[in-house]
Amino acid sequence: MVIPTTFSEDLYLDTDLSRYLYNTYAKDLPIIDYHCHLQAREIYENKQFEDIGQMWLAGDHYKWRAMRTFGIEETYITGSASYEEKFYKFAAIVPYLIGNPLYIWCALELKRYFDIDEMLCSENAKRIYAETKALIQSNRITPRWCMEKSNVALVCTTEDPIDNLSYHKQLLGKTKTKVLTAFRPDQAMFCERTGFASYLKKLEEVSTLPISKFSDVVQALETRLIFFKSLGTTVSDDGIPYFQYVEVDEAEVEAVFSNALAGKPLTSREIDVYRTAFLSEMGRLYHKHGFVMQLHVGTYLDANTSKVAAIGQSTGFDCTDDRSSVHSIGLLLDRLTKANTLPKTILYPLDISKIETFAVLAAGFCDSEAKAKVQLGAPWWFNDQVYGMEHQFESVSNLYPLSLGVGMLTDSRSFLSYPRHELYRRLLCRYLAKLVERGEYFGGESYLKEIIEQLCVKNVKEYFGFQV
């Protein structure tokens, strides 16, 4: 038995038809990455990367989590060690990441950006470090180089309403990849946090509107939403770590807001009251101004509180939660529907056991206002790997038309993460080929071509109104 030692271009394409569909129709399509966490400043400055250690380990919490599971000291993860030292530590664990998406992601990134098709390990780490560093220098590899190399037509970063979007303004018309943003008002929703009042002061300043009650918050956010829209934004992004819908009235909401503004401890009921009112109002504003509402549901933030206190938030200590019910999200959608203010909505359940039930929920709120008005989002965060994608193809397509989706995203802070779109396209073509080979689809090649193009590019452009 011969065990392969190099990357195969037939990755996941295990039949003639899957290879044909991918290589003929999917492979060369442009990428529209409508949800990521890249920094517009880095795109604008376009500085050459130092080395692959910086490119891989400067902000990738997926890799940080994996390194911690192997007992690697934090100094080589988020600490003071050089990126070269961090790279060698990471290289040592790569052979043992068998079955983990990091193994395939790294293989694809080495192949696509550096034409290296061997597995990274301790034995070749110094040589690969030197080879990649030489290529970074000779090709002047920068953020924009990575996006152009990957045929990225458009990216949407994610910014807070108080952001002045100065870098987005300066990038307008200056790059081959169109750079937009998404409106993320989470900080105005987390009324229970200690920094809530100080955040509202900043919102007050940028909106030039006084804020003393909840209705003022809504008005200030609408002002910022209009500002974001003026720069081409049609995307919102609401993170919902936990949500319990409750029926609320204006007086109760204002009472809760008053307590939150004063820094008083809030009960669970009060938090639920505020979040229900907040998400309802944001949904109304998104509908009014033609934004897509993206609801990322079910994160368990800052699980390891001592590590978060020592290292910081968004450093690999967030987890999946199962407390946010499909029923509560359904009640929110129903409230907006009854008020005729339900915007186009994408639901991203992080709890993979609820994907099917959220798909059923989404179908229940579709109407003639838009195709796939409410739909299930791409396999997100911990689900953006082979099992998560295949699970969604196999199970969700039974409950919601797969062909109406808006495709894949990176949800990444790395400029090397675009092969995740390639992974999605390979698995999609394998799934479609299986349906044909099992006799479950006999619509001919032209329809398969159209479905692949819709899922990779056309649907997302139409749904968000992107002009690319």
96: domain CATH number is 1.10.2020.10
Domain end point (choices 107, 138, 169): 138
Q: What is the mean pLDDT of residues 153-166?
A: 98
Backbone angles phi, psi at 235, to 5 degrees: -120, 130
The answer to whether residue 321 scores a pLDDT higher than 90 is no
Coil vs helix vs strand at 322:
coil
**In sequence order, what DSSP letters do the residues of 369-417 get, joined into one string?**
TSTTSEEE----GGG-SHHHHHHIIIIITTTS-GGG--------S-TT-
- pLDDT for residue 288: 98
As for how many domains the chain has, the answer is 2
Q: CATH number for the domain including 185?
A: 3.20.20.140
Instruction: Please tell me whether residues 133 and 154 are part of one structural domain.
Output: no
Distance CA 158, CA 166 (A): 14
pLDDT-based confidence at residue 334 (cuts at 50, 70, 90): very high
Domain end point (choices 138, 172, 203): 138
Q: Which residue, among 236, 234, 231, has the nearest Cα to 165 in the 3D structure? A: 231
Whether the CB-CB separation of 459 and 407 falls below 8 Å is answered with yes
- pLDDT for residue 395: 87
Q: What is the mean pLDDT of residues 27-43?
A: 97
Is residue 43 one of the residues assigned to a domain? no
Instruction: Please tell me whether residues 128 and 152 are part of one structural domain.
Output: no
Q: Mean pLDDT, the chain, as a whole number?
A: 96
Instruction: Please tell me whether residues 66 and 169 are part of one structural domain.
Output: no
Is residue 109 one of the residues assigned to a domain? yes
| Residue 325 lies in domain | 143-464
Is residue 7 one of the residues assigned to a domain? no
Q: Which residue, among 3, 132, 7, has the nearest Cα to 422 in the 3D structure? A: 7
Domain end point (choices 90, 113, 138): 138
Backbone angles phi, psi at 344, to 5 degrees: -55, 135
Coil vs helix vs strand at 355:
helix
Instruction: Please tell me whether residues 192 and 317 are part of one structural domain.
Output: yes
The answer to whether residue 324 scores a pLDDT higher than 90 is no
- Quick: pLDDT tens for 184-223: 999 999 999 999 999 999 999 999 999 999 999 999 999 9
- pLDDT for residue 322: 85
Q: Which residue, among 281, 405, 280, 291, has the nearest Cα to 343 in the 3D structure? A: 291
Instruction: Please tell me whether residues 130 and 208 are part of one structural domain.
Output: no
- Quick: pLDDT tens for 340-376: 999 999 999 999 999 999 999 999 999 999 999 999 9
- pLDDT for residue 323: 84
Is residue 174 one of the residues assigned to a domain? yes
Instruction: Please tell me whether residues 431 and 317 are part of one structural domain.
Output: yes
Instruction: Please tell me whether residues 323 and 250 are part of one structural domain.
Output: yes
Instruction: Please tell me whether residues 384 and 325 are part of one structural domain.
Output: yes
Distance CA 192, CA 259 (A): 10
- Quick: pLDDT tens for 230-256: 999 999 999 998 899 999 999 999 999
Residues of the chain with pLDDT > 90, as a percent, come to: 95
Instruction: Please tell me whether residues 271 and 400 are part of one structural domain.
Output: yes
Q: What is the mean pLDDT of residues 117-138?
A: 98
Instruction: Please tell me whether residues 206 and 244 are part of one structural domain.
Output: yes
pLDDT-based confidence at residue 23 (cuts at 50, 70, 90): very high
Is residue 178 one of the residues assigned to a domain? yes
Looking at the DSSP assignment, which residues form a beta bridge with residue 299? Answer: 320
> Pairing relation of β-strands 319-320 and 299-300?
antiparallel
Is residue 287 one of the residues assigned to a domain? yes
- pLDDT for residue 432: 98
Structure tokens at 407: 């495709």
- pLDDT for residue 32: 98
Structure tokens at 191: 């009324």
Is residue 58 one of the residues assigned to a domain? yes
- pLDDT for residue 339: 98
> Pairing relation of β-strands 293-297 and 238-240?
parallel
- pLDDT for residue 425: 98
Is residue 152 one of the residues assigned to a domain? yes
The answer to whether residue 27 scores a pLDDT higher than 90 is yes
Instruction: Please tell me whether residues 384 and 239 are part of one structural domain.
Output: yes
Cα-Cα end-to-end distance for the chain: 49
Instruction: Please tell me whether residues 366 and 425 are part of one structural domain.
Output: yes
